[in-house]
Amino acid sequence: MLERLWSGWRSSYVSSVGPPASSPDGPSVFSQILASGLPDEETHIVHRGATCFAILNAFPYATAHTLVLPYREVGDLEALDETEFHELWSTGRDAVIAIKSAYRPEGLNVGLNLGRPAGGSVSHHLHVHVVPRWTGDSNFMTATANTRTIPEALQDTAARLRAAWPAGPAAP
């Protein structure tokens, strides 16, 4: 029998995303954050490069769950130009380095969900998830109380990652 775990805590995030970029109704949540003019400390952006940036997931699966994405709103990996493609992955590598340095996780998940059927909740603005993992991080709280335990405030996580981010521009 197929078992299901309810993740109702994500519904506010998914419903706040809005329509695809091709819609006249507006840009992605990431483009809205970039256009807001708010400081990185408030938006939890941890790194800015020439064509890509890294931001904390507002509804993380684990502490330091980071998203790496291009400034340009595209939904398909093959739609990136060469510069964006290389910077996306070098920034992803730098996110791994920063997370390992700041948090010492036992492992990491790094990946993309391309398209809504693949799990992309903001499928029109592709983003790489970098999620630190520890043995037991999927514990009884999620299964029995429909609750994730995130032991650190996002602003504290962002500050730790900024401090641990590799120096200099992301390598091509």
Q: Examine the residue annotation and report whether 124 is marked as an active-site residue of this protein.
A: no
Q: DSSP strand E in 1-156: where?
A: 45-48, 52-56, 66-70, 107-112, 128-133
From the candidates 44, 47, 124, 127, which is the catalytic residue? 127
Query: How far is 125 from 22, CA to CA, in rounded Å?
Result: 11
Contacts of 81 (CB under 8 A, 6+ apart): none
Residue 34, both tokens: 């970039």
Active-site annotation, residues = 127
